[in-house]
Chain A
Amino acid sequence: EDQVTQSPEALRLQEGESSSLNCSYTVSGLRGLFWYRQDPGKGPEFLFTLYSAGEEKEKERLKATLTKKESFLHITAPKPEDSATYLCAVHFYGGSQGNLIFGKGTKLSVKP
């Protein structure tokens, strides 16, 4: 069964303490892997799309990387405003249109 697993479930960092979030997947034939950020009471905000192993994308303090089995979201010198839940989703070949498989997310808290 196709599956997306995110770890850790929750992560607490001090401001400036860099770390990484993990998203592992077992889909057969990855079409794309997506990272979203979700603030409490709001809808997910699109961050990145990764299509092939070795690909990397950056946005401010965030950098997403992709291998054949997992993706990492690296957070460099985080600030309190980076606190949110980060969601990973995959779309696979053979999947129906729009059928993204989401992980449960990692809740990040950054303390000043």
Chain B
Amino acid sequence: ETGVTQTPRHLVMGMTNKKSLKCEQHLGHNAMYWYKQSAKKPLELMFVYNFKEQTENNSVPSRFSPECPNSSHLFLHLHTLQPEDSALYLCASSHVSNGSPSDEQFFGPGTRLTVL
């Protein structure tokens, strides 16, 4: 595997279900990100992990819960979602050195989530 991978690629869930999205990066990066992409809207940054520590949480509802066990893996745990949470969820990674982020973020293919 190369680059950034995400599983599953597609997910349909009911509002009472609990599911998790997985992201893995094979680039040797040490920062990882979750984005939400909805139709007709710009990409929205949800969470940032730098050296496994969460450094950003852009006012995301608590029904989204991130987990970063190491610098290569990132999860997004989902529970009690709403239909408006249906979107493409993208994971990205970048290299951080000396506390300053590398600029380029590399994205995975995304998980297309549908909440019924």
Q: Which chain B residues border A100 with CB–CB below 8 Å?
A: 43, 45, 105
Q: CB distance B43 to A97 under 8 Å? A: no
Q: CB distance B104 to A104 under 8 Å? A: no
**How many pairs of residues, A versus B, come closer than 8 Å at their CB atoms?**
66
| Cα of A80 to Cα of B95 in the assembled complex, Å | 33
Q: CB distance A104 to B45 under 8 Å? A: no
Q: Which chain B residues border A89 with CB–CB below 8 Å?
A: 43
Among the stretches B48-56, B61-69, B76-84, the one at the interface with A is B48-56
Does B101 count as interface, using CB distance less than 8 angstroms?
Answer: yes
Q: Which residue of B lies closest to A42 (CB)?
A: B109
Q: CB distance B101 to A98 under 8 Å? A: yes
Does A44 count as interface, using CB distance less than 8 angstroms?
Answer: yes
Q: Which chain A residues border B108 with CB–CB below 8 Å?
A: 43
List chain A positions with a Cβ less than 8 A from chain B: 4, 31-32, 34, 36, 41-46, 49, 87, 89, 91, 96-105
| Cα of A103 to Cα of B42 in the assembled complex, Å | 5
Q: Which chain A residues border B74 with CB–CB below 8 Å?
A: none
Across the interface, A43 reaches (CB within 8 A) one of B4, B42, B45, B55, namely: B4
Q: Which chain A residues border B56 with CB–CB below 8 Å?
A: 96-99
Known: A34-B103, A44-B90. 6 other contacts (CB 8 A): A41-B112, A43-B6, A43-B90, A49-B103, A89-B43, A99-B56
Q: CB distance A45 to B103 under 8 Å? A: no
Does B31 count as interface, using CB distance less than 8 angstroms?
Answer: yes
Does B94 count as interface, using CB distance less than 8 angstroms?
Answer: yes
Q: Which chain A residues border B92 with CB–CB below 8 Å?
A: 43
Chain B residues numbered 33-52 whose CB sits less than 8 Å from any CB in chain A? 33, 40-43, 45, 48, 50
